A and B are shown apart, each in its own frame.
Chain A
Amino acid sequence: MLTRTLLLGAASVLAMASFAHAETTLTIATVNNGDMVRMQKLTDDFSKKNPDIKLEWVTLEENVLRQRVTTDIATKGGQYDILTIGTYEVPIWAKQKWLLPLDGLGQAYDADDLLPAIKDAVSVDGKLYASPFYGESAMVMYRKDLAEKAGVTIPEKPTWDQIAEAAKKMTDKSTETYGICLRGKAGWGENMALLTAMANSFGARWFDEKWQPQFDQPEWKKALTFYVDLMKEAGPPGASSNGFNENLALFQTGKCGIWIDATVAASFVTNPKDSKVADKVGYALFPTGDAGPDNHGNWLWAWNLGIPAGTQKAEAAQKFVSWATDKAYTELVASKEGWANVPPGTRKSLYANPEYEKAAPFAKITLDAMNAANTSKPSVKPVPYTGGQFVAIPEFQGIGTAVGQQFSAALAGSVKVDQALTSAQQLTTREMTKGGYIK
């Protein structure tokens, strides 16, 4: 009896001792993108180096995640220790003091190695508020075989007129081959990302220096008319409901001649496992228009890891952020999954690596596209905001989506271009007045 009591006592002491060996659990909120999923699979490496830190993953659909994380961070709910956020949120949230500045990432992190455009996008007042996990700009992807068949060449720096001409010649509706696939689905991160970048290259801007919406200006009219006319003549049917994934599917199955979208698409369309056109893809920079040969739309996006100000585990969280975004992580992915699967678009050293260039034929053009983007001067005309394919103000999600609905309707043909622009002007003016921007 006594022995049993003693044994029991010893066991419970042992149990308590193992509890006392404090384990920190980090809850990480993330989206379901290929690179993030890969990171989840590779966390054994992190656990080996940090046995006292446990990781819990919450993966959600992008819009659900945005809403969920915004609620939590705005109320200081403290549910997450690490957040996956876009370049749209970082400056806004940093100014609200919702994010911790990342000053404990360690020596190995090497912040100077980050691509300058990306580093700027996640910094406020020279301080890093999130660490980029992968980045992208936008570019032209086209079918070399179709271009040849149609007798057109697409230069490395095309203009919109050259793109339109090539697209029209590549279109063959009898074989369901459409010259151009562009986003049409309404949403600030869907069609408005493309149309804002496109408008930038046409010399348009969202707001003048006094925050007056500019949809009543000729540049917007020209850009939108060009887009609608081109899509009508050379685009696929039902384009007003196509987003990134729909166009990806069309392009991969050989139904598109030209697709202009995020650079990250290149790794999908060249993957022979899913793509029928893997060996036939050519690339070019985002087209230029009236804004001159240097304005390539200024599309720039990155998914970043940030740490909410409400967390109790900042130190452990910084350790993880550093692990997931430093140079060693790139090498870890390369050794396990090959260089082609390394998260792109964040570090200079990756693009200086000859092995990466060999494995990823789109490496150089991606880097060129990212270097061509300037988010602090998106339009040739002066603007009071930053952001390339979006406007970095909290109101933009709502306004961008509402304007996107008007433009999607114009593409579908249910309203005229002029009408869509007038409605966009009205609703944006109303929201900006309500937001206190227009006095």
Chain B
Amino acid sequence: MARAISTRRKLTFSILGWAIGLLIFFPILWTFLTSFKTEGTAIATPPQFLFFDWTLENYHEVQARSNYMKHVTNSIVISVGSTLIGLALAIPAAWAMAFSPTKRTKDVLMWMLSTKMMPPVGVLVPLYLIFRDWGLLDTRLGLVAVLTMINLPIIVWMLYTYFKEIPGEILEAARMDGASLMKEIVYVLTPMAVPGIASTMLLNIILAWNEAFWTLNLSAANAAPLTAFIASYSSPEGLFWAKLSAASTMAIAPILIMGWFSQKQLVRGLTFGAVK
């Protein structure tokens, strides 16, 4: 009897899980489907789900009109670059806050997070002027720098919570054995926190990949990543849903594939700590 209930419960949870999963995935699925429609079918009411004339015309046109590879390269350089630099800065910072906290550590953490609370457009003009004077406008270096800075608070916070889970005694033991601070971080702390660091890294790459405000405003022709590629397919006069969907599908494909392959790491990292 008990077994029967648990099967039924399992079934209910599976169905519920699938339903929620599909609901969350639906916009991506719809974008994908729309990218194979003609502009006319894309706006048809009632919407057509699967039975329409599938066409690759949109992909053909997007390929012909834009330099997709340039945008992909820019996106990769910017998201991976900003994440690696961010980690290099955040690991020592999170170490300090997790293992030698002071009276003010909590305040420092809150202060770091508070920088995320200001609407970005508030600092657009000052930053734009700095970028102009330093020649950083429309350069990948400039975008890496700005994305590193805006995502740094999140990296520090995530790493801090992971590091908190690691017993300080292990680090003390390493110190007793004569490990220097550098060695302690590189050989003892980092290997233990790998799942946490990996998931922070993945999440941050996704955040940087999708960041649209700064990447659009500080780039023009050379450093423009995939966000600018998508933005170029929306038209004020004329139908554009199908072509925009094709561009969006092409823009999210690389990050979606990366997320798919690393989902184990992501989930493990995100539940790290909670399962202990």
Contacts and interface: CB of A to CB of B under 8 A. Distances in A.
Interface of A: 27, 29, 31-34, 37, 40, 56-62, 64, 67-68, 71-72, 74-80, 189, 244-245, 248-249, 252-253, 262, 264-265, 268, 274
B40 A58 contact: no
Given A75-B132, A79-B220, A268 B43 contact: no
A191 B216 CA distance: 27
A249 B43 CA distance: 7
B125 A71 contact: yes
A274 B236 contact: no
Nearest to A264: B237
B132 A245 contact: no
Interface of B: 39-40, 43-45, 65, 124-125, 128-129, 132, 137-138, 216-217, 220-222, 224, 228, 231-240
A77 B132 contact: yes
Contacts of B236: 31, 33, 61-62, 189, 244-245
Nearest to A246: B43
B228 A60 contact: yes
B132 A78 contact: yes
Contacts, number: 89
B124 A64 contact: no
16 contacts: A29-B220, A32-B235, A37-B65, A56-B220, A58-B221, A60-B228, A61-B231, A71-B124, A74-B125, A75-B129, A76-B132, A79-B220, A249-B239, A253-B45, A265-B237, A274-B239
B221 A245 contact: no
B216 A75 contact: no
B216 A274 contact: no
Contacts of A248: 238-239
Contacts of A262: 237
A57 to B, nearest CB: 7
A52 B138 CA distance: 23
Nearest to A25: B221
A83 B220 CA distance: 12
Nearest to B40: A274
A96 B2 CA distance: 79
Nearest to A310: B132
Contacts of B238: 33-34, 245, 248, 268
Contact of B39 (A37, A77, A274): A274
A77 B124 CA distance: 13
Contacts of B222: 56
Contact of A33 (B124, B228, B237): B237
A64 B216 contact: yes
A60 B239 contact: no
A60 B216 contact: yes
Nearest to B45: A253
Given A32-B240, A248-B238, 5 more contacts: A32-B233, A58-B232, A61-B232, A62-B236, A264-B237
A77 B216 contact: no
A27 B220 contact: yes
A243 to B, nearest CB: 8
Contacts of A189: 236
Contacts of A79: 137-138, 220
B239 A71 contact: no
Contact of B235 (A33, A72, A75, A253): A33
A75 B234 CA distance: 26
Nearest to A261: B237
A244 B132 CA distance: 37
A32 B128 contact: no
B42 to A, nearest CB: 9
B41 to A, nearest CB: 10
Contacts of A40: 65
Nearest to A67: B217
Contacts of A59: 232
B244 to A, nearest CB: 9
Given A33-B236, A244-B237, A274-B239, A58 B220 contact: yes
A68 B236 CA distance: 16
Nearest to B229: A59
Nearest to B126: A75
Contacts of B231: 60-61, 64
A239 to B, nearest CB: 14
Contact of B128 (A75, A252, A253): A75
Contacts of A244: 236-237
Contacts of A274: 39-40, 239
A33 B238 CA distance: 7
B63 to A, nearest CB: 14
